[in-house]
Chain A
Amino acid sequence: MKKTIKAIVTASMAVLIVLSGSLVAVAAAHAAPTKVPGDFGPPRGKPIQAILTSPPNVPPPINRNYPARVIVELEVIEKEMPISEGVSYMFWTFGGTVPGSFIRVRQGDTVEFHLKNHPSSKMPHNIDLHGVTGPGGGAASSFTAPGHRSQFTFKAINEGLYVYHCATAPVGMHIANGMYGLILVEPPGGMSKVDHEFYVMQGDFYTTGKYRAKGLQPFDMEKAIDERPTYVLFNGAEGSLTGDKALTARTNQNVRMFVGNGGPNLVSSFHVIGEIFDKVRFEGGSNVQRNVQTTLIPAGGAAMVEFHTEVPGSYVLVDHSIFRAFNKGALAILKVDGPENKSIYSGKELDSVYLGDRAERNLDAVTTATKAAASGALTQQEQIDAGKVLFTGTCSVCHQANGEGLPNVFPPLAKSDYIGQDVKRTIGVVLHGLTGKVMVNGKEYNSVMPPMNQLNDDEVANILSYVLNSWGNPGGRIAADEVKKVRAQPVTAQKAEH
């Protein structure tokens, strides 16, 4: 019972601070001195002013071996900033940037948090830090009217990477307007040394105008509720991390990215094109997953990803829900400079014609036939061999690999009286197609064969030679010259009746 009352009192105290406006002496509930893991005792030494950084920068490592009182001063500013080229948006920010300033403390630190709401603000704001243990994550205690400031204190008892965000009603709109950031609670022993640390945070944005519609774009509540974002962005603006603003590193360096997702709605499939994350502390927690291609970052969640740079070039950070990357802006660049490493990645070794829909077939026969034709020594067998390969790619889809066609739909080529009646007629059929009724082996077919004039003369000749010498057809061969002549003739519609 006593415990219950204590909890209630604590909650009400938080409200009290808000109500009083000015900070009068507020009686605090007496805390039981139980040992909490991650609590390394009262703060020691002089209070330390936290270094806050704007994205994509990260404050330097803590390098401290005792718990301290760390003072964080964060200012809320509502300001118009570009969201894309020629497009601006009224952002609500923690520290003047989207995402907000990066906060770095040590596990066990006592954090004295000051939230200042700039006098030019229209809205009241507050902050919910996911790294806080206590009701609302500090939200009620930090509720601050424009031109006012609030203060509350918490002990960072859990290490990890945590999202913070505004939690003032309507919460979704405050987040949609850019009110989120990251707080890193380092383990007591610090983190492994790396060459670069970057701060990247995804968010989805909802504007009344379409993607890249110019001018100041207001927030679109309907789209936000329907979860239809106009923009999905890294660090609050299209182009915030590309071109001159791209992240940079050298080859043979260790890179750590603190990646958050503010939401408000979307879950990120975070991926760096061309890199494999050597280590991911997924969900910002303590487990390490190795060799990860894409890591899922929930809205209101974060991850620490690490990789080593081997090969120079531009690495593209994307939300691999890929339309967001190429149609809504979720794209950033890490530019890695340094010497090539051909043993890891060769660069282009071959540039040759690639025939997409024949990719799985051995085209040697075609190549042989092409060469033989060029030298004037093409044999009938070479033609048949090449024709067989080509037939498989182009014709067998309808006429089937065994030439039997499909009953009542596609006429057979096997033992076909239609072919036998006029062998040369087949050239025109292939080049110009065939539409309408046709009698084959006593059955009527009525469908459409499209013109196959994308095939060159050699290819048509070879395919037809293969057909003539297969499945009980009369044999013989068609020469490329014959195809060439038919192709040169004016097109007369190949009607079956004629």
Chain B
Amino acid sequence: MKAIFTLLSGFATPVFAAAIMCSLPLAADGAQVKQTALPANSVYQLPVSFTDQDGRASTLADWRGKPVLVTMFYSSCQFVCPRIVEALKKTEASLSPQQAKLPILMVSFDPVRDDSATLKAMAVERHIDFGNWTLARTDARSVRKLAAMLGIQYRELSSGEFNHSSVILLLDAEGRIAGKTSTLGEADPAFVKLVRKLKP
């Protein structure tokens, strides 16, 4: 039994993902029962389930209702990812007080290493405010799909590092991509302008 499972491990994830997806509509329906249908170009059309730094389960569509900043990262990244966090913080700092609590969602490329405890440790290390920030992991198949949806490129290297494009996206309340930036380490003024335009 176990041997077969190991043999399948490379392929087990899609099946696993499919299984989760089957259960998804229930949760999503519950949350969105009063809402109208999602726009056709909404990122929230993609069923993805997350586990956050505190082990809480959620889905991508749970972010519907407010503008949100989304990015992808991995916690063992020493070079670029801290600068992504920095850019998010500075973007946040340049917003008005009521906008400053804009939800921020960071999704890991690395479901193998980034479990809830690891994400939590990183968040603490980077002084991340859990009030509006979520560090999340999902399964490998969903990582691929979410990255495809957000136009983020990545590949895993044999070293365990990830080679990826660095993008912060602004989603509007309905999950439509309203802006992107690749500025690292600081706030991109033009991007901040786009965020300000979207009323929370």
Contact = CB atoms under 8 A, between A and B. Distances in A.
A236 B180 CA distance: 42
Interface string B121-132: 000000000000
B178 interface: yes
B190 interface: yes
A5 B185 contact: yes
A24 B185 CA distance: 23
B55 interface: no
B190 A24 contact: no
B188 A27 contact: yes
A9 B183 CA distance: 6
B48 interface: no
Interface in B175-196: 177-186, 188-191, 193-194
A491 interface: no
Nearest to B183: A9
Contacts of A21: 151
A15 B167 CA distance: 11
Interface string A27-45: 1111000000000000000
Contacts of A28: 190
A30 B191 CA distance: 10
Contact of A19 (B151, B184, B189): B151
B165 interface: yes
Contacts of B179: 24-27
A5 B186 CA distance: 10
B interface, over-half SS: loop
Contacts of B45: none
B177 A27 contact: no
B183 A16 contact: no
A21 B152 CA distance: 11
Interface string A1-32: 00001000100110110011100111111100
B151 A29 contact: no
B37 to A, nearest CB: 21
Give the size range of B's interface with the partner.
Answer: 20 to 34
A205 B186 CA distance: 49
A9 B190 CA distance: 12
A29 B165 contact: no
Contacts of A9: 182-183, 188
B92 to A, nearest CB: 16
Interface in B148-200: 151-153, 165-167, 177-186, 188-191, 193-194
A104 to B, nearest CB: 32
A24 B180 CA distance: 8
B190 A29 contact: yes
Among A9, A25, A27, A28, chain B packs the most CB atoms within 10 A around the CB of A27
A12 B84 CA distance: 14
A139 to B, nearest CB: 17
Contacts of A12: 165-166, 182
Contacts of B178: 24-25
Interface string A278-319: 000000000000000000000000000000000000000000
Nearest to A14: B182
Given A15-B165, A16-B167, A24 B177 contact: yes
B182 A16 contact: yes
Nearest to A15: B165
Contacts of B177: 20, 24
Contact of A20 (B151, B188, B194): B151
A19 B150 CA distance: 9
A30 B182 contact: no
Nearest to B176: A24
B180 A20 contact: yes
A310 B34 CA distance: 85
Contacts of A16: 151, 167, 180, 182
A406 B151 CA distance: 86
A15 B164 CA distance: 13
Interface string B55-88: 0000000000000000000000000000000000
A27 B191 contact: yes
A19 B151 CA distance: 6
A13 B151 CA distance: 13
A33 to B, nearest CB: 14
B190 to A, nearest CB: 4
B180 A26 contact: yes
A136 to B, nearest CB: 16
B167 A27 contact: no
A12 B188 CA distance: 13
A24 B179 CA distance: 6
B185 A27 contact: no
Nearest to B167: A16
Nearest to A10: B182
A439 to B, nearest CB: 88
Contacts of A15: 165, 182
Among B178, B181, B191, B193, chain A packs the most CB atoms within 10 A around the CB of B181
B147 to A, nearest CB: 10
A19 B153 contact: yes
Nearest to B166: A12
A20 B194 CA distance: 17
A257 to B, nearest CB: 44
A13 B165 CA distance: 11
Contacts of B194: 25, 27
5 contacts: A5-B185, A9-B188, A12-B165, A26-B179, A27-B179
Given A9-B182, A19-B165, 20 more contacts: A5-B184, A5-B186, A12-B165, A16-B167, A19-B152, A20-B177, A20-B180, A21-B151, A24-B177, A25-B178, A25-B180, A25-B194, A26-B179, A27-B179, A27-B180, A27-B183, A27-B190, A27-B193, A27-B194, A29-B190
Interface of B: 151-153, 165-167, 177-186, 188-191, 193-194
A-B interface, 7 closest residue pairs, ranked by CB to CB distance from nearest: A27-B190, A12-B182, A27-B191, A19-B151, A27-B181, A24-B177, A25-B179
